[in-house]
Structure 1
Amino acid sequence: MKLILSLLFVFSTSCIFSQNLQKTLVILDAETKLPVQDATVTVLKTKQFYLSNKLGEVTISIKGESALKITHATYETNTVRASFLKDNNTILLKKNTKELDEIIITKQHPQKILKMLIDNSIAHFTMPARLKVYEREFLKLDDKYAYFNDGLLNFQLTGNPNIARTDILIEQNRSYGLKDEFVGDDAVGYNLDNISENYYNFKYLEFLLTTSAKKDFEFIIKSYSKTHSYYIMQIIPTDNAVGLYDHYYIVYDYKKKLIVEVSSVLSDQMLAKLSDRPHLNPKEIEKSSFKTIYKIDDNQYYFFSSREEIKLKRKINKVPRVVEVSNTMVTTAFSTKHFTYKDNEIFKGKTLYNVPNHILTNYWDISGLTATDEELSIIQKLSELGK
């Protein structure tokens, strides 16, 4: 079955490269002309998804005539015809966020509203489902790039939203770098096995529902969008908070009661506390942030993308090191159809760290996430290190 899947993928990918045209979009803020990161570009004809990088760049593959829908929670939706595109195209997006902060007064405490949003979102996730995901990860040791991996993965989710099982099948993958410098599951790598727990059960938000969180955080709900029924819930640590906490921002559709985005960042103010309260930082975290986007598409609701970064000090092989990991995942295609596979074909590991390279095509060129010139340079250097 694995061979059949591989042959089918090679055939379909070769068709894409031989028949499809590649176009590059640069998505900018209409007012500031700054790049728009995390904009979703959907090829409506094929339901292929792409995500803009930090430079606002998207490289898409088009076969025949189709419209492209460009969406972002902060901007108005824009639709363009593929036939109008040139080799390089600048797309300007107009902001749809409220110019003035309007605090929403609610009868319930926002913490109870968050609990309702989490429960309702979990109940409405489309199940069963199959997500074709592109995953990319960079790792630095002592502020120098030391390792890279990426891969095309299939996440097949079965069961029900409350008790979901995720089987992962690897189509292609590659990794480069000095692997011998860091050994062990806790030293490197994003835990792919946690996608259901973290993204489909909102595990990372659970502690915000506790009694202590009500004391340590200020919960504020504000209006967010002029064109969508979106509110934003800001959950900010108070000055008296006794833990090392991120600032949380949750964008949600208040009519459908579904979570659209979750992001967090460890603020400079919180990091400044570390010198006064060293017990708050046992792992000596220097940077931490993540952003998760969920897609509402007609009657379907599912995980779309995540971007996580963490920098901390820890011992590797008993030697103190500074470790920085950045990981991005983007769903490039979504389906409710199953495909069959054997149990021994399921990926049992946590990361792509020790998986042998399996490259059939230049899959990264149609990955859904365009690499910047800087990232391409880093990948090339790391590939040379591994030779």
Structure 2
Amino acid sequence: MKKCLVLLQFFLSFTVFSQTNERTLILLDIDSNLPIEDAVILVLKTKQVLMSNNEGKLVFELKGGSNLKITHSSYLPLTIKWASLNQSENIIYLKSKSNTLDDIVVTKQHPQEIIKELVNNSIKKLNVPARLKAYSREFFKLNGNYAYFNDGLINFQLYKDQKKVKSILLVEQNRSFGLVDDEISSDLLGYNLNVTMEKYYIFTVLRPLLDEKIRKKYNFIIKVYTFNQEYNEITAIPLEGTTELLDDFKIVYDVKRKLIIEINAEVSSITLAGLKEDNSKGFKNIIRSVFKTNYRVDAENYYLISSKEEINYEINTGNETKNIEVLNNLVTTNFNIQNYTYKESDVFKDKTLFNIKNSILTDYWNVSGLTPTTKELEIINKIIKSF
């Protein structure tokens, strides 16, 4: 009888442990009650990485339970015990690291030289070889209407080839839905996944700031990062009256480690207003351009954690002018320094997920690490139903 009770207790414990639990978190600023976007949530048991959307929300599933560690460059870190997440929606408040003073950093070294040093050191410190498991999601708009959507679970195997960072892509699962205008070439549909990770690992977006001639076209300022005293922030703003397509830059970096933590690049409305429109066939007139990447420093590891790219432009196809907009999000859900084992036939060699047949084995988007907002979910469901 005693033996039966022990066995029963074992099976009950196993059932509880193996049970899949779904949790919803909503992250809010404790002072303003506003949602917190781009917070990184680490599941301590599985090392899975999650990210909050612009509603401060994330939904995920987990077998058993695990404590969670929440970090954000603008807020104090917080560890949440699994037992406390007992509601259908769990509201978590984060406390800002905000410093009321806007301290300007005075240095003999020109900001451009600091950026060069940061780029060189960050490239050296990024873990390569390594593998990133990532969730990619992309929306495509044609003439203001959502026309296409794709997402997928992707494995990036990063390695060095003659001092250059290269990546091998393995697509686990993917889905692609929508009606594509036949007159739009495949080159215009989305970001090229074969070069995306490589450019993030050599900081391609910052190359314009490394040009010696650029000093005369930008105003550089270094400040102590408002939300974290361990970080500095470099802003580079095009001088007034520019007639070139130049981004506004913001670079957040770890002062002690000399590592880039965050990059923001966006063409401002002021810059766009000063550009001349070109209606020649094939020319892209930029309406909006946004770029953002975040990097994570975890003990001895340093790697990309997320990216966001948006491009909106008008193009003269010869018959008409079309408005094209592409919105791409990528979040690293798992990081590992081990290499993948794969066959050459498994390697994804095409440009975008638009060009690959759907492979849906599970509801992978529910455990993707990036929860769609209410509006995004509405768009996804509408596109899928119309397919």
Report if aligned partners of 1:122, 1:162 keep a CA contact under 8 Å in 2.
no
TM-score scaled by structure 1? 0.91
TM-score, reference length from structure 2 = 0.91
Q: Tell me the CA shift for residue 195 of structure 1.
A: 2.5
User: For the Cα contact (< 8 Å) 1:234–1:249, is it kept in 2?
Assistant: yes
Please give the alpha-carbon distance, in whole angstroms, between the structure 2 residues aligned to 1:328 and 1:280.
Answer: 30
Task: Give the Cα–Cα distance (whole angstroms) in 2 for the partners of residues 227 and 206 of structure 1.
Answer: 26
- Runs (4+) off by over 3 Å: 180-183, 225-228, 277-282, 315-319
Helix, strand or coil at the partner of 2:274: helix
Counterpart residue identity of residue 236, structure 2: I
Secondary structure at the aligned position of 1:301 is classed as: strand
Aligned AA (2:70): I
The range that moved more, 239-248 or 156-165, is: 156-165
Alignment check: 8 A CA contact 2:74 2:227 kept: no
Letter aligned with residue 332 of structure 2: T
> C-alpha distance in 1, partners of 2:181/2:240?
43
1-side partners of 2:384 and 2:249: how far apart?
37
Aligned equivalent of 1:44: 44
SS at match of 2:353: coil
1:316 deviates by 4.8
1:176 — aligned with what?
A: 177
1:279 Cα shift? 6.3
| Distance change >3 Å, CA 296–CA 170, structure 1 → 2 | same
Cα offsets for 1:94-116 (capped at 9, x unmatched)? 22132221110111001000000
Residues 299-318 of structure 1 aligned to structure 2 (within 5 Å): 299-316=300-317, 318=319
1:371 to 2:372 alignment: yes
- The equivalent residue for 2:218 is 217
Aligned to 2:8: none
The answer as to whether partners of 1:236 and 1:247 remain within 8 angstroms in 2 is: yes
Distance 1:212 1:152, change over 3 A: same
Deviation per CA, 1:3-40, whole angstroms, max 9, x where unpaired?
Answer: xxxxxxxxxxxx9x973211000111111111111111
Q: Is the 8 A contact 1:218 1:236 kept in 2?
A: yes
Q: CA deviation at 1:197?
A: 3.2
The superposition leaves residues 137-167 of structure 1 with CA deviations (integer Å, 9 ceiling, x where unpaired) of: 0011111000000000000011269412200
**Letter matched to residue 75 of structure 2:** Y
**1:244 alignment counterpart:** 245
Which residue does 1:287 correspond to in 2? Answer: 288
**Structure 2 unaligned runs (5+)?**
1-14
Residue deviations 1:190-215 (CA, integer Å, cap 9, x gap): 11111343100011111111122111
Residues 243, 271 of structure 2: 8 Å contact kept = no
Aligned sequence identity (%): 45
Quote the residue 1:7 is aligned against. Answer: none
Q: CA deviation at 1:294?
A: 0.5
Does the 8 Å contact 2:167/2:197 carry over to 1? yes
Corresponding residue SS for 2:377: helix
Q: Which residue of 1 aligns with 2:10?
A: none
Matched position secondary structure for 2:97: coil
Alignment of 1:230-379 (within 5 A): 230-274=231-275, 277-278=276-277, 283-316=284-317, 318-379=319-380
**1:250-269 deviation digits (Å, cap 9, x = unpaired):** 00001000000001122121
CA–CA distance in 2 between the matches of 1:69 and 1:181? 46
Give SS of 1:179's match: coil
Q: Which amino acid aligns with 2:120?
A: D
Deviation, 1:66, is 2.1
CA contact (8 A) 2:279 2:316 kept: no
Between stretches 63-72 and 28-37, larger displacement belongs to: 63-72
Given that 1:44 and 1:66 are in contact with CA atoms closer than 8 Å, whether structure 2 keeps it comes out as yes
Which amino acid is 2:55 matched to?
L
Q: How many residues align?
A: 370
Given residue 125 of structure 1, which amino acid in structure 2 is its aligned partner?
A: L
What residue in structure 1 maps to residue 208 of structure 2?
207
* Alpha-carbon separation, structure 2, partners of 1:182 and 1:359: 28
In 2, Cα distance between equivalents of 1:206 and 1:219: 15
Q: Distance in 2 between matches of 1:112 and 1:306?
A: 25
SS of alignment partner, residue 353 of structure 1: helix
Task: Work out whether residues 161 and 200 of structure 1, in 8 Å CA contact, stay in contact via their aligned partners in 2.
Answer: no
3-state SS of paired residue (1:380)? helix
Aligned AA (2:56) = G
Aligned residues of 2:230 and 2:255 also touching (Cα < 8 A): yes
Residues 242 and 271 in structure 2, CA contact (< 8 A), matched pair in contact too: no
Residue equivalent to 2:11? none
- Note if contact 2:238-2:248 (Cα within 8 Å) is conserved in structure 1: yes
Distance apart, 1:280 and its partner CA: 12
Larger of the two Rg values belongs to structure = 2
Q: Check whether the contact 1:128–1:160 (CA below 8 A) recurs between aligned residues.
A: no
Contact 2:73 2:227 in 1 (8 A): no
Q: CA RMSD in A?
A: 2.2
Alignment of 1:17-36 (within 5 A): 19-36=19-36
Return the offset for 1:271.
2.0
